[in-house]
Amino acid sequence: MESKNKYSPKKIVIFASGTGSNAKKIIEYFADNPNIVVSQVFSNNIKAKVLKTAHELDVQALHFDKAAFYDTNEVLNVLADIKPDLIVLAGFLWLMPNKVLKEFPDKVINLHPALLPKYGGKGMYGNRVHEAVLANNEKETGITFHYVNEKYDEGKIIAQEKVTIEEGETLESLVKKIHALEHKHFVKVIENLLT
């Protein structure tokens, strides 16, 4: 059995479906860290900007389809070869298959753009979340980092960060606030989990 060199860096694999602004921040943040490295970006969307971003930042990127993820062990086998210390879902919209969760227990985390358990579940992502928060006249919202289980947004909460919703808050202004929170705290949560 191969032994892990105690000085080898901890490895992160990022799953993303879209633009990948959080993925970009994470890659840049750990770029010069000798102890933590983003080893690969996986995307289920061939047109996702995150794939291009990964290439530009010298991180290997992989596109996969539903069959490779759910029906075969293609994605699982690649992950098993990488042996990530943490799998980070950064705007990834598919449910993680059980076989991945079993292979990497308590090593898959997600960021949700609301204060769970509120505004979570299937179909609740991106602007849909913020629109619902505004429609319900909430006084505050925020982000939740949580472990991933077999249901959308129901895993154990790691951390939450809050923002106040101002009088006259718009979707655009709220999205900006949430992105600022994400970009500030995501890397810290990852770092805490890996050190």
Q: How many angstroms separate the CA atoms of 49 and 41, rounded?
A: 11
| Bond before 117 cis per omega within 30 degrees | yes
Alpha-carbon distance values, 185 to 132, 147, 178 (Å): 23, 16, 11
> Is 183 one of the annotated active-site residues of the chain?
no
Q: Which of 141, 144, 146, 143 is closest to 156 using CA atoms?
A: 146
Other beta carbons within 10 angstroms of residue 5's beta carbon come to 7
User: Comparing C-alpha atoms, which of 141, 136, 138 is closest to residue 180?
Assistant: 141
Helix, coil or strand: residue 23:
helix
- Torsion-angle region of residue 189: left (phi > 0), alpha (psi -120 to 50) or beta? alpha
Q: Active-site residue among 55, 63, 112, 130? A: 112
| Residues assigned a catalytic role | 112
